């Protein structure tokens, strides 16, 4: 079956018909570009096993493959000595929140957390919304961030949307959508397409997530997400299947584990985790908040005995996911390729392992 159109991330209903078509066109074009690959690089074009769901049939043997990872930024964890240090660092700037999950925290005067809001919505959708339905965008900011948001807060004098506006640039004043440089849907599409090429180097088929990202030069090796997305996609490609990111293309919350959490009144800590945007299967916005009637705050909840003093502690337990679809297993005739450009590069690995201090 050929997909009629790409839906907006999370199957949200903000867009009018014209904007929905524009979104479909944007994703379709991004996929087509990714399929072509980087012709200016050796061994990276075409990505013959990657396909456009709206142009190529998804066969009846189709299987879905979920890929998930932890939202806490790996680079921060790697370079920190203590938990307090890593939580504080992860919460210091949206620019270090690079696992396709960014967050903002609302605290009481005494520092206790009242509410933590998490988003995994890529910026591209919001840029399209700003261009096609600016009033809707303003309404959404007022609904999800603050009723006092003004149009001038979000758009510059020329009417251009400011993704890093005052309501979406910090860890304390709101998080409407992803803004960290590597947290884009385009990146997700490109790396999954690049990972669909089976790699053989020095006569050996590559299978490890790190050697694959080094060899194919997709994504950011330092993250939890990109090497894993590429590794899983490639493992499907090695089954000689065609594959794509499933509709709606996007990044989603897989869930929150509350293993080891305890509330002051014995209530279920899971009950304070709510999805507030996106469909049930594809949630794109979540909040962790205790109702006022409970008489305690998020910071009165403990994780293995330690009170929640940073929303970053919660991200240790949040999983982000995407879903790929694969079909025509065993039928692909695409030839494996050697590594992109020169043999296994060193630069990226160096960055992976270097301390940042």
Partner 1 sequence: MTRSEDIVRDWFRIGPRRRATAWSEHAVVTLAENIDLEMLKPRTLYRFVMGADSDFSIMSSSEIAQLADPMGALLGQGKFPLTAGALLSELDAAGMVPRQSSFMISEAGQISPDRASSLHRDVRFAIVRGKSSDADLAISTGAVGDPAAVFLQVAGWDDRAGLFNYYMRVSGTWVWAGNSYHALASPSRGYGCFDSHVNGSLVMKELKQPWLNWQSMNATIQLADDDPLRQNPLYQSLSGAEELENIVRAGISRWTRARLKHAVTTDREIPNSDWLLRQLCTTTTVNLASTIVASSTAATAPSATLLLPLGFWFNADVLVNPPLNIPVDSAVPSVTGKLYADSLARYDFALVQDDFRQPGDAFFAFVVPEAAFEDIDVIRQMVTTGILTAHFAASVLMVDFPNPVFSPARATLFQYMPTAATLDPAAGGLSQQIAAVISKAADGHPADSPEAEFKANWELAESEWQNVFASRIESYLAAVTERISSVAGFDDYVRLAESRRREFKRMRLNEFALTLPVTNIPLDAPLLQMRPDGTIQEKLVLATQPEESAPQ
**Positions in the binding site for partner 1 (CB under 8 A):** 68-70, 74, 77-79, 81-84, 205, 207-211, 214, 224, 227-228, 231-232, 235, 238-239, 257-261, 268, 270, 304-306, 316-317, 319, 344, 346, 349-350, 352-355, 357
Nearer of residues 96 and 140 to partner 1, judged by Cβ: 96
Residue spans of beta strands (DSSP E) within 142-271: 200-201, 204-205, 242-245, 252-256, 261-262
Residue 195 beta carbon to partner 1: minimum distance, rounded to whole angstroms: 12
Residue 204 beta carbon to partner 1: minimum distance, rounded to whole angstroms: 8
Residue 211 beta carbon to partner 1: minimum distance, rounded to whole angstroms: 6
Nearer of residues 56 and 319 to partner 1, judged by Cβ: 319
Cα–Cα distance measured from residue 54 to residue 202, given in angstroms and rounded to the nearest whole number: 37
Instruction: Report DSSP letters for 317-335, one per residue.
Output: TEEEEEEEEEESTTT--PP
Residue 252 beta carbon to partner 1: minimum distance, rounded to whole angstroms: 15
Residue 93 beta carbon to partner 1: minimum distance, rounded to whole angstroms: 19
Residue spans of beta strands (DSSP E) within 98-161: 102-107, 113-119
Nearer of residues 5 and 112 to partner 1, judged by Cβ: 112
Note whether 151 and 134 are within 8 A (CB).
yes
Contact partners, residue 92, CB within 8 Å, separation at least 6: 171
Nearer of residues 35 and 324 to partner 1, judged by Cβ: 324
Nearer of residues 84 and 150 to partner 1, judged by Cβ: 84
Cα–Cα distance measured from residue 27 to residue 21, given in angstroms and rounded to the nearest whole number: 10
Nearer of residues 124 and 226 to partner 1, judged by Cβ: 226
Cα–Cα distance measured from residue 99 to residue 225, given in angstroms and rounded to the nearest whole number: 6
Tokens representing 20 are: 């929905």
Cα–Cα distance measured from residue 97 to residue 101, given in angstroms and rounded to the nearest whole number: 7
Residue 276 beta carbon to partner 1: minimum distance, rounded to whole angstroms: 21
Nearer of residues 140 and 212 to partner 1, judged by Cβ: 212
Residue 22 beta carbon to partner 1: minimum distance, rounded to whole angstroms: 34
DSSP structure class, residue 95: G
Note whether 191 and 177 are within 8 A (CB).
no
Query: For tokens 């305690």, what's the residue?
Result: 296
């Amino acid at each position: 079956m050929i997909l009629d159109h790409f839906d907006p991330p999370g199957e949200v209903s903000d867009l009018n018909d014209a904007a929905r078509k524009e979104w479909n066109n944007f994703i379709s074009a991004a996929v087509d570009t990714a399929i072509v690959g980087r012709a200016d690089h050796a061994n990276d074009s075409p990505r013959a096993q990657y396909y456009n769901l709206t142009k190529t049939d998804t066969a009846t043997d189709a299987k879905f493959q979920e890929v998930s990872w932890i939202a806490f930024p790996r680079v921060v964890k790697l370079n920190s000595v203590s938990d307090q240090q890593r939580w504080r660092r992860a919460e210091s700037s949206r620019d270090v929140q690079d696992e396709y999950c960014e967050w903002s925290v609302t605290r009481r005067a005494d520092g206790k957390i009242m509410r933590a809001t998490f988003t995994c919505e890529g910026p591209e959708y919001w840029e399209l919304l700003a261009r096609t339905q600016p009033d809707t965008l303003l309404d959404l900011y007022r609904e999800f961030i603050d009723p006092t948001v003004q149009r001038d807060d979000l758009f510059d004098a020329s009417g251009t949307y400011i993704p890093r506006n005052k309501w979406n640039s910090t860890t304390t004043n709101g998080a409407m959508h992803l803004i960290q440089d590597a947290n884009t849907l385009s990146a997700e599409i490109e790396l999954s397409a690049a990972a669909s090429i089976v790699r053989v180097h020095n006569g050996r088929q590559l299978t490890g997530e790190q050697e694959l990202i080094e060899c194919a030069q997709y994504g950011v090796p330092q993250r939890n997400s990109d090497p894993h997305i590429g590794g899983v996609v490639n493992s499907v490609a090695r089954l000689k299947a065609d594959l794509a990111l499933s509709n709606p293309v996007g990044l989603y919350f897989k869930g929150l584990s509350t293993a080891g959490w305890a509330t002051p009144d014995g209530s279920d800590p899971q009950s304070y985790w709510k999805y507030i945007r996106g469909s049930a299967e594809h949630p794109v916005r979540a909040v962790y908040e205790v109702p006022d009637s409970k008489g305690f705050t998020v910071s009165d909840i403990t994780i293995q005995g330690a009170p929640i003093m940073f929303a970053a502690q919660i991200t240790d337990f949040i999983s982000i996911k995407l879903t790929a679809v694969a079909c025509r297993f065993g039928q692909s005739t695409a030839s494996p390729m050697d590594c992109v450009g020169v043999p296994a590069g060193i630069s990226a690995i160096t960055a992976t392992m270097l301390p940042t201090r």
